[in-house]
Each structure stands twice: as structure tokens, then as C-alpha cells.
Amino acid sequence: MKSLFDKTGLKNLELKNRFIRSAMHEGLADKNDGSISPEILEIYESVAKGGAAAIITGFAFTIEGENPTHRMIAAYDDRFIDGFKKLTDTVHKHDAKIILQLASGGSQAKFNYRKRKIYGPSAVEHKFTGITPIEMTQKEMDQLVQAFGNAALRAKKGGFDGVQIHAAHGYLLSQFLSPYYNRRQDNYGGTLENRARIIFEVYREMREKVGNEFPVLIKINCSDFMEEDGFSFEESRYVCKRLDEMGIDLIEISGNVGFNQAEPQLIRPGINKDKQKQCYFSEYARQIAEEVDVPVSVVGGNRDFKMMTEILNNSKIQCFSLARTVLCEADAVNRFRENPGYEPACISCNQCWSLKQGNICIFNRKNP
């Protein structure tokens, strides 16, 4: 019988268990330039001590001034490498791995968007932000691909154990996959192969920059769950199989787009009260895991140790990603180890996403 605390592997990395801290934007990088701050170091050290085998950072931006939200981690210049080294050295002291997530926001932006140019696959108004982006030119897409590759190399130089492409949740690469937001008439629009082209190019550029032994991961939606013209599950299966063939090292399955999508929500409230509503992307991840050789991790409401163990032993899913659970209790994984019947303290209220001083669980807020 497989255990959530089995050692497992990610390319040349040994992971001490099957738990991954999924990427979450903390909003606590340096407010001036996005460099690694003391607050970021403190948060990731606490998670590393807390037992997760690997930590995926909050999303980092690859082009100066392009950050879609406040106080994001910056990865657009070599001057950030020293800060990366401080962070990775801190995490490695506690026998944990750390992976830098790289992203581009597109029109799903809520920071400084009135003062800068916002780009997207097509000039289509965003359903939730109301922003109509500028359609990207070939030159701008090429620059984006190069920026991802250069940021991946900086991550490697900074001691990270891998990088993750953020192609989920309605940000720019996710928008390219969406027939609603991508209405291009060139080689980057129309067919699924065309809509996924920029993601394949980003992966190839990263691989060329970091080599074959450095893990490159992707986070991708199983579906956008949009009422019309969203990226579908069948399309996700195809893209995942193509990435598997290309040599991607781990696929993390999530779903939905950001910003108050009606149902099903990306970040679902109240699931602590009903275990049947937990692990809500696991069936999609199970089907994808059956069709690829690469390890698959699933995020989304993973709270109950028994339920995760059952999924592990009845599917080819290899890892489980935790987000709000670990934001609430950095040591949640250690608590599971000590007591498999432990019920996490997170009440799924989603109030962690509403703070201007950073995304902090209500149970961890400090009085001003």
C-alpha cells in the first residue's frame, strides 16, 4: 500500500514525502522592486520546517513592470539572484526543496493597470477585471518566451530546485489556451495546437536555458469551467500529453479561472464541513495521470488524510499539493505525520485573500 509519506522522486530530486506546498501569492515581497524580503524568508522557512517535501513559491514576474498584483516576487533581472540564494539556502536547511513559479498576468490584473500597457492574446475585455488588453505582436510574444527562459536560468543560479510554468487560473498563458480570450488568426490562435504554441515555446526556451537535468514543471487547468468558450478538459488532456512527450517533469492539475467565477469556484469556501466536497480536481487529475508517464500532482481542497490516501492508492496520482491548509498551519504536514486523523484548522473562509498587508490567514494575523 502506498503512503503519503513515501519518498518519491522528481527527475534527479528525492522528495521526502508526497506533499507539495502549492504556489500562493503572499503579497510580501519587497514593495519597491519585488526582491526577497525578510517576511518572505520567514514564511518559507516556517513551511520548510512544517514538513512539506517541496515548496512552490508564489508567482514571480519575468518582465519589469508587468506584475499583475502587488508585492510579487521579481525574477526579471540578475540582481535578484542573491536574494534567491538566501531564500533557497534557508529552505534547504530544513530538508525541503523549493521551486520558483514563473508567470505573466495579462489582463487578469489588479495592480497599477491604469498606468501601464496590458497585453493579451487578443483585444478581448476580461470578464472580471474589465480590462481590454493590447493584442500581442510576434515580437512581444518572442520577448515573453525569452523572459521566461532567462528567469528560469536565474532560478537555477539562485539555487532553486526547479521552476514551474504558471499556465492556469486565467493568467496570460492560460488566456492563450482559452478560445474565449484567444481569437487570434495567426499561428497562435484557432486550433488547440496553435493556442498552446506559446506554452510549448516557453517550455522549450526554459529547457534550452537550464538543461535537461533541472526540473521544469507546469501548473495547468483541467478546465476553465467557463460558461462559454473556455479551455476544456479534453483540451487539457491533449496539452498534458504533448508536454509529457516533450519532457516536462511534473504536471500540477488545478482548475478554473480567477476572480469570483460563480461555480465551481477556484478557491471553494466551506469544504472543511463536507469531506465529499474536498479533493475537487482529483477525478480530472486521475484521468490525466492515466494518460501520461510524468508525475502528476493535484491541488484543490486536499484536507483529509484518509481521502488523499485512498486517491493515492486508487490512481496514478503521485503527489498532493496543499495551499490554504498550509497558509493556515505551516506545519500541517508534520501534524498529518503525527496523527493521520488530524483535521486541519483552516475553515475555508477565503478571508486570507483580502488583506492589503499580504495574504495571511485570519488565525495568523498580527494586531497592528
Domains of the chain in start order, with CATH, are 8-364 (3.20.20.70)
3-class DSSP state of 58: coil
Report pLDDT for 262: 45
Average pLDDT on 18-27 reads 94
Report pLDDT for 109: 83
Report pLDDT for 359: 78
Q: Which letter does DSSP use for residue 90 in this model?
A: H
Report pLDDT for 342: 92
Report pLDDT for 360: 79
Confidence of residue 259 (pLDDT cuts 50, 70, 90): low
Report pLDDT for 273: 65
Share of the chain above pLDDT 70, in %: 93
**pLDDT tops 60 at residue 335:** yes
**pLDDT tops 70 at residue 269:** no
CA quadruple 189, 112, 218, 361: dihedral sign: negative
Beta carbons of 101 and 166 less than 8 angstroms apart: yes
pTM for this model (two decimals) = 0.95
Report pLDDT for 366: 63
Confidence of residue 222 (pLDDT cuts 50, 70, 90): very high
Mean confidence (pLDDT) of the chain: 92
Report pLDDT for 128: 86
Least confident span in 43-57, 93-107, 250-264: 250-264
333 CB burial (10 A radius; 0-12, 13-18, 19+):
buried
Distance CA 127, CA 105 (A): 14
Beta carbons of 17 and 61 less than 8 angstroms apart: no
Average pLDDT on 330-337 reads 96
200: left (phi over 0), alpha (psi -120 to 50) or beta: alpha
204 CB burial (10 A radius; 0-12, 13-18, 19+):
middle
How far is C-alpha 263 from the chain's CA centre? 21
Residues for the chain: how many in total?
A: 368
